[in-house]
Structure 1
Amino acid sequence: MAYLNSLPDLPEIVRDSRLNATFHTDGRQSYIVHKRGGAHRRAKETQDVWVHEKHLGSGGYGRVDVQAKESKHPGLRQLRAVKTILISDTELRSRRDFYVRELEAIIKFSQVRYDDLFVKTYGWYASDNHLFIAMEYCELGDLHKYLKTCPDRRLPEDQTREIASQVLDALSRMHEENFAHGDLKPHNILIKHRPPDPWVVKLSDFGISRRSRNEDTAPSPITTVRGTDGFMPPELLNISGSSSKSIDLYAADMWCVGESIFRILTGRPTFENTQDLYGYYFKVGQFPVQVLRDAQVSEQAIAFLSSLVVCNPSERLTAKQALAHPWIMMAVPESPVFKFSDSLAEKLDVVAQNLRLAETEGEKCRAMGYLAITLFKMDMFVSAEFCYLDFIKREKESLSGPTVQFNPCLVERENLIRLDSFLIDLAHTLVRQEKIEDAKHFYEEVISHKISLYDNAHQVTIDVMYELAEVLRSRDKLEDAKRVYEDAQDTTAETRGDDAISD
């Protein structure tokens, strides 16, 4: 894999995401060291040490492990998941463009504007015959494992709709960027929040981990994948006799969406075996409507699934059409600002219109906050920051107290979570620019939001406090770091004592 490390013509996005890594072992424990240069000439070189913590699972792609970052403070636990893929130098040399494109896709969908849609990739590194991809660790696991703990292995329809809406939102963005997921199933839907909190899920495991070993190596407008038995549509099983070059992988994704939703609603597959699927394809059997009705699924949901699990790929709903389906639209909260199915440009138009039409100061404040989010997702960072500062100013003026504190009544819970993702990324940018005091302000803003959403004893709040403490410590602001760290430790102790941390 030294060949991949030394390639001089890697795309910039791939080259910049490579992590400098050295591998060590003390005989009992293995660990990875990443060295990082300072942001300017006088800044000190730093290093991060990641220690193997536990094995998560293995598959045809290789294995996934959890690593913990070493810290001088034992309470500061940062975890990441690392996927290890075995690729020989011979294979890499012969199919170099394919692997580079797949890395490019994974990194592309780790940009901040996709934070609420896909599991984030932090970077990649390599050793002889192995490629390692460092990713966000979702401690609540995947939807497949969660369903095993549910009665009859299924979820209520309203919760299923929430999940389906988020999955389609992510899939729509992938398709807009000319990428197909290729292996959509509950195993690859990772959970960030679940009841009693609102559902928040992210897509994972697309691209390089499901490379096909027999596809045409010629350039393709979309990622070529193989899929998983029980979730693949007829055209991928060659029931129809279609040429692999003529298969619409976007439509194949939509079949997988329908199959996944069917299983979430009923706890069983749409077709119990391949013979049933053949019967459905050749019109000997029918779509299992009665199974859905026996599970007390609404007729609207049945109509939605019937428009996805269609043998003719051209007759399936697209991701964008599915987002506009009445059953899915029931999951979208009423908002005067935008719908999830709108494009970014459409959202910007709607936000600007609502800003013009806003009558009360609260409505103007809310619209300005949405405008900041939308501009940020369009990579218009300077304008986004300007709008956010205006948003903060309006919010401060609408409150009686002297401090700048967010009023959660003005923005729905889900949008506040999205705003916090924006603020955290803005804080990260400021840290890289050595503007630590400004970054500290935004961290503290997020902490106040988390307290308003949950409480100061919630693990989400504690995690942000620990991250701020680590940033301050790494920039030699030891007194500030100590204060934040002690606050987090006190909160953790209180939480453990009261057994108050929720999942």
Structure 2
Amino acid sequence: MDALAKVCPKCGRRYDTAAAFCQKDGARLQLTDEQQPDPYIGQTLLDQFKIEEQIGAGGMGSVYRARQTTLHRDVAIKILHSELADNRDAVRRFKREARVCTALDHPNVVRVFLFGQLEDGSLYIVMEYLKGRSLLEVLQREGALPVHRALHIATQICDGVGEAHAQGVVHRDLKPENVVLVNKARDPDFVKVLDFGIAKVGGASSKLTKAGQVFGTPHYMSP
């Protein structure tokens, strides 16, 4: 059985099989179906996206590399975990991420091409496939970066997040894990900002947070 084979039905956090309750909200954990072969790998979705491999997984969903046969290009497809299909907050955040990224047109923000629901009811986001490393991986491997390189990366992050702010969007979980460096336009440190799942949108009528609830990664949150 997978080392992280249980999931919280409320927040989506994953735990090993020895855990019984979520440390965040106290909900009873549920078994996932990850010990079974991934049903999406090898399948062709929407008659054009052939799933090649899983390239990531988190509390909200799994991310796959797929080949878009109609345009002969690789894309990334994020699919909401099936156990969260009835979780209203998770579904809202997933939809929020798709809508926010679709509305943002900036080279330093990941591009979203398509959003919808599969025949099995699962929500999906089709986005650009990024072949690179997260800033977290770079820092773990290389340590402190030279000042000129750090400034180059930070400036691009600010450009991408600044465009989001100009559109009334606050990321709320900006951290090295959500910044990917790709080789583009002869720049090996071209920045792409990801994961707007808990972003705050100005003027939004629905609230995704409750009073007193904190979202983000404490180590990277502003005071």
Structure 1 and Structure 2 fold alike (TM over 0.5): yes
8 A Cα contact 1:211 1:225, kept in partner: no
2:144 pairs with one of 135, 154, 167: 154
Q: Which runs of 5+ in 2 are unaligned?
A: 1-38
**1: distance between equivalents of 2:131 and 2:164?**
24
Matching of residue 227 in structure 1 with residue 222 in structure 2: no
The TM-score, its normalising length taken from structure 1, stands at 0.31
2:113 pairs with one of 113, 116, 122: 122
Structure 1 residue 170, shift from structure 2 partner: 1.3
Which residue does 1:81 correspond to in 2?
Answer: 76
1:81-480 pair list within 5 angstroms: 81-86=76-81, 88=84, 90-92=86-88, 100-109=95-104, 111=105, 114=106, 116-127=107-118, 128-150=120-142, 153-193=143-183, 197=187, 199-207=189-197, 210=198, 219=206, 226-232=215-221, 255=222, 311=223
Which residue does 2:32 correspond to in 1?
Answer: none
Per-residue deviation, residues 46-78 of structure 1 (Å, max 9, x unmatched): xx3x2222221211112111112347xxxx962
Please report the RMSD computed on the Cα atoms of aligned residues, expressed in angstroms: 3.6
**1: distance between equivalents of 2:109 and 2:65?**
18
8 A Cα contact 1:67 1:79, kept in partner: yes
Per-residue deviation, residues 356-408 of structure 1 (Å, max 9, x unmatched): xxxxxxxxxxxxxxxxxxxxxxxxxxxxxxxxxxxxxxxxxxxxxxxxxxxxx
Matching of residue 31 in structure 1 with residue 43 in structure 2: yes
Is the partner of 1:160 in helix, strand or coil? Answer: helix
Per-residue deviation, residues 186-219 of structure 1 (Å, max 9, x unmatched): 111111228x836311111112xx489xxxx963
8 A Cα contact 2:153 2:191, kept in partner: yes
Structure 1 residue 179, shift from structure 2 partner: 1.0
**2: distance between equivalents of 1:29 and 1:99?**
21
**1: distance between equivalents of 2:113 and 2:102?**
8
8 A Cα contact 2:96 2:196, kept in partner: no
- Which has a greater percent of helix? 1
**2: distance between equivalents of 1:78 and 1:134?**
12
Cα distance change of structure 1 residues 199 and 91 upon mapping to structure 2, 3 Å threshold: closer
8 A Cα contact 2:164 2:170, kept in partner: yes
8 A Cα contact 1:56 1:66, kept in partner: yes
**1: distance between equivalents of 2:44 and 2:214?**
31
**1: distance between equivalents of 2:194 and 2:206?**
23
Which residue does 2:27 correspond to in 1?
Answer: none
Q: Partner letter of residue 184 of structure 1? A: L
Per-residue deviation, residues 430-468 of structure 1 (Å, max 9, x unmatched): xxxxxxxxxxxxxxxxxxxxxxxxxxxxxxxxxxxxxxx
Is the partner of 2:220 in helix, strand or coil? Answer: coil
8 A Cα contact 1:86 1:129, kept in partner: no
Cα distance change of structure 1 residues 99 and 83 upon mapping to structure 2, 3 Å threshold: closer
Cα distance change of structure 1 residues 185 and 98 upon mapping to structure 2, 3 Å threshold: closer
8 A Cα contact 2:61 2:81, kept in partner: yes
Which residue does 1:61 correspond to in 2?
Answer: 60
Q: Partner letter of residue 64 of structure 1? A: V
**1: distance between equivalents of 2:40 and 2:59?**
27
Q: Partner letter of residue 100 of structure 2? A: A
Cα distance change of structure 1 residues 84 and 100 upon mapping to structure 2, 3 Å threshold: closer
Is the partner of 1:68 in helix, strand or coil? Answer: strand
The TM-score, its normalising length taken from structure 2, stands at 0.65
- Which has a greater percent of strand? 2
Structure 1 residue 225, shift from structure 2 partner: 7.3
8 A Cα contact 2:183 2:189, kept in partner: yes
Per-residue deviation, residues 219-239 of structure 1 (Å, max 9, x unmatched): 3599x971124223xxxxxxx
Higher relative contact order (CA closer than 8 Å, sequence separation 6+): 2
